[in-house]
């Protein structure tokens, strides 16, 4: 007659031989990989949709690249129409990137005031320019460049630029 100990040893022996077999190791590895993949997918946080948060056009921006302006004048006209339609802040896809468009001066000032700490650039502009500057740096280095460039935009210099800017603006009208 079989005792409980014999049955237990038989089951343990069968389990040990199964674990040592190659098919079991492969099956166990596949199960572990699938489990880790599902865990990673479950834990991965989805980025909030800018369009869902701020609204914005969907009809002509659903292509993989989104809005592609034909010219500078076309992009200015399109953005003016979108600003009239969607308000001070809206999101749209431009050249394959989700972008937040701000049209209210006070909102833009707030972003510039908080930019080093609360807002980061979505892509690295370092590839566009060969040397670091206000447009291509972040953090403390950006603050240093901004302090160096700020005197050029004081009230007197800004007033001196108005006639030239008006000439450029007239070309677009």
65-104 pLDDT, tens digit per residue, is 666 666 667 777 777 888 888 888 888 877 777 788 888 8
pLDDT beyond 70 at 64? no
Q: Which two tokens stand for residue 9?
A: 């040893």
Domain residue limits, the chain: 40-120, 124-173
pLDDT at position 101 is 84
Q: How confident is the model over 117-132, as a mean pLDDT?
A: 61
Can you give the pLDDT at residue 48?
63
- List Cβ neighbours of 1 (8 Å cut-off, separation of 6 or more): none
C-beta of residue 82 within 8 angstroms of C-beta of residue 57: yes
d(CA 76, CA 168): 13
Go through 42-70 and write b for each residue having 16 or more CB atoms within 10 A of its CB, e for each that does not.
Answer: eeeeeeeebbeebebbeeebeeeebbeee
Round the average pLDDT of the chain to a whole number and report it.
Answer: 75
Q: Does the predicted TM-score (pTM) go above 0.85?
A: no
Report pLDDT for 65: 61
Select the more confidently predicted residue: 62 or 156: 156
């Amino acid at each position: 007659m079989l005792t409980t100990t014999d049955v237990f040893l038989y089951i343990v022996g069968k389990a040990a031989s199964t674990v040592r077999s190659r098919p079991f190791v492969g099956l166990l590895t596949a199960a572990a990989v699938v489990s880790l993949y599902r865990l990673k997918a479950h834990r991965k946080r989805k980025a909030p949709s800018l369009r869902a948060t701020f609204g914005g056009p969907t009809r002509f921006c659903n292509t993989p690249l989104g809005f592609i302006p034909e010219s500078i004048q076309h992009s200015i006209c399109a953005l003016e129409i979108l600003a009239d339609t969607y308000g001070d802040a809206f999101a749209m896809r431009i050249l394959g990137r989700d972008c937040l468009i701000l049209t209210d001066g006070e909102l833009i000032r707030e972003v510039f005031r908080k930019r080093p700490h609360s807002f980061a650039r979505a892509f690295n502009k370092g590839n566009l320019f060969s040397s670091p500057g206000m447009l291509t740096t972040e953090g403390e280095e950006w603050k240093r460049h901004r302090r160096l460039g700020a005197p050029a935009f004081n009230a007197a210099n800004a007033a001196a630029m108005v006639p030239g800017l008006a000439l450029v603006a007239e070309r677009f009208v």
